[in-house]
Amino acid sequence: MTSHSAVPTSSPDSIPSLVSPILVASTFATPAATPLRLGVMASGSGSNFEAIAQAIADGQLHAKIPVLICNNRNAKALERAERWGIPSVLLDHRTFASREDLDRQIAETLKQHGVEWVIMAGWMRRVTQVLIDAFPDQMLNIHPSLLPSFPGIRAVEQALQSGVKISGCTVHYVHLEVDSGPIVMQAAVPILAEDTPATLQARIQVQEHRIFPPAIALAAAQKAGVDPTTFFSPLANHKVS
């Protein structure tokens, strides 16, 4: 993928954002025989979930989403799942006695759906070792800052208040400590003088949607010891099946 977006120079989005590592291949090397099976966990809007579903539909990401797990019955993510025809399971954290009990049920549900990779896309609960142990080195999260800066909640506000001039987003492995696991991919987003939390968050989300699909492919390829283009091609509509 390229590191510069072709948008008019009058738009704040014309400021180039930088993605690292950059995936340069434009076609699938050899698409893997079996698509990755992604279990997505979301608590809110679910725009990252939808970006992943769209990348799959466009033939960019060689994957399937057998299930979306949501902990909030009012989450827009549930509506998006319905629109995409993706099965969803509501596991309301308030009905579980402990974080571990919730995570045990999540792990069981994901396993029942044959999930290999767990994708936390706006999951607003701290996860426990119970879930991490069920999917060792196969859980990814997206966070709206350039980690290790600004982990935890209100990362966009933290970045604005700190006065840094560049922020961004990070896809990383999930470890027990919040937003702490090894980094897979990042995109940098310049902070503008006139930015508010809402405007900065909106520009960061554009980059989140851009990097999450290739980051999943990269992590899966590293684990399988194959080329990332086995699972990802930036060429839209390059259908593999």
Q: Which residues are tagged catalytic?
A: 143
Q: How far is CA 78 from CA 70, 85, 89, 112, in A?
A: 7, 10, 9, 19
Q: Residue with the closest Cβ to ligand GRF?
A: 122
CA distance 233 to 43: 28
To which H or E segment does residue 223 belong?
Answer: helix 197-224
Q: Which of 19, 36, 47, 139 touches ligand GRF (CB under 6 A)?
A: 47
Q: Which of 39, 144, 228, 234 touches ligand GRF (CB under 6 A)?
A: 144
- Does residue 46 touch ligand GRF according to CB under 6 A? yes
Nearest distance from C-beta of residue 58 to ligand GRF, angstroms: 18
> Was 141 annotated as part of a binding site?
yes
Angle between helices 76-84 and 47-57 in degrees, nearest 10:
10
- Amino acid, single-letter form, for residue 4: H
* Residue number, 22 or 153, with CB nearest to ligand GRF: 153
> Was 99 annotated as part of a binding site?
yes
* Residue number, 64 or 203, with CB nearest to ligand GRF: 203
User: E-assigned strands of 88-203?
Assistant: 88-90, 117-120, 139-143, 166-173, 183-190
- Does residue 48 touch ligand GRF according to CB under 6 A? yes
* Residue number, 32 or 119, with CB nearest to ligand GRF: 119
- Does residue 158 touch ligand GRF according to CB under 6 A? no
Q: Do the bridges between strand 139-143 and strand 166-173 make them parallel or antiparallel, or are there none, so unpaired?
A: antiparallel
Q: Do the bridges between strand 183-190 and strand 18-20 make them parallel or antiparallel, or are there none, so unpaired?
A: antiparallel
* Residue number, 31 or 213, with CB nearest to ligand GRF: 213
- Which residues would be at the binding site for ligand GRF (CB under 6 A)? 42, 44-48, 121-122, 142-144, 169, 205, 208
Residues annotated in a binding site for (6R)-10-formyltetrahydrofolate: 99, 141
